Structure 1
Amino acid sequence: MNRDRGNIKWTAMMLTEHLVKLRDWVAEDAYEEKPTIDEWTFQEFQQQLDIAYQSKCELIIKTWASGEFTDSIGILQKRDLRLHLIYLTDGVTVRKINVHTIVGIQTIGFE
């Protein structure tokens, strides 16, 4: 029976600098670049938000922050045009989302 422990036997030989570099390398692989949003797409997002605000339909909003994409699901409760924020509620909590972090919007249950 082969009892090879893989990386366990090699970690004792690695220097701390090597481990730091390996962790940085793994974190770099997980990082995703922010897609560029042109003016037309941004206007389309604004129109979708206006329609969703008036019809109170549910939205899936994809945002980008710190190299990660996150999806938020809820109903658009309020818009703050001065601060470029929207308030999305899921019935329990209210999330503030900066409009400039939005990379995708999808409406649910809107014909």
Structure 2
Amino acid sequence: MSKDRGTIKWASLMLPEHVKLLQDMWRDDYRMSRPVLDSQETEMLNAQILEAFEYKSAISVSIYSDGTVINRLGIITKLDSQTNNVILQLTDSTQITIAFDDILSITIR
């Protein structure tokens, strides 16, 4: 039985706008809604963040971003309580800012 490519085989006969719409549709199929954490999970995350910051421990953090979950490895260098952000220094020495609401889970290594 031959392997069918579905709508991909017709892409050369389609207008670029139609191809873009199909790509957006396929990307939307894999999006997920933002998980809602209860107060107990939020408190546990807060405690893990404070512990990792205090001991400068390496962490693995799962972040919700635009319908997907991204995993990052690094060390927390700063906690900004005014904006509820966490500054994470990645293993390649770049720093990223993560909103506390976007953090789904933390594993201290």
TM-score (norm 2): 0.79
Residue type of the partner of 1:41? E
Residue type of the partner of 2:99? N
1:9–1:60 CA distance, 2 compared to 1 (3 A): closer
The equivalent residue for 2:69 is: 69
CA-atom RMSD in angstroms: 2.7
In structure 1, the residue corresponding to 2:82 is in which secondary structure?
Answer: coil
* CA-to-aligned-CA distance 1:33-88 (integer Å, 9 cap, x gap): 21111111111000001111111110111110110111111111110111101111
Work out whether 1:107 is the aligned partner of 2:108.
yes
Cα distance between partner residues in 1 of 2:81 and 2:11: 56
Q: In terms of mean alpha carbon deviation, does 21-30 or 90-99 score higher?
A: 21-30
Alignment length (residue pairs): 105
Residue type of the partner of 1:104? S
The equivalent residue for 1:45 is: 45
In structure 2, the residue corresponding to 1:35 is in which secondary structure?
Answer: coil
Cα distance between partner residues in 2 of 1:93 and 1:16: 36
Cα distance between partner residues in 2 of 1:83 and 1:52: 19
Identity of matched residues, % = 24
Cα distance between partner residues in 2 of 1:26 and 1:40: 35
The equivalent residue for 2:33 is: 33
The equivalent residue for 1:57 is: 57
Cα distance between partner residues in 2 of 1:5 and 1:83: 47
Q: In terms of mean alpha carbon deviation, does 97-106 or 25-34 score higher?
A: 25-34
Residue type of the partner of 2:38? D
Show structure 2 runs of 5+ residues with no match.
none
Show structure 1 runs of 5+ residues with no match.
none
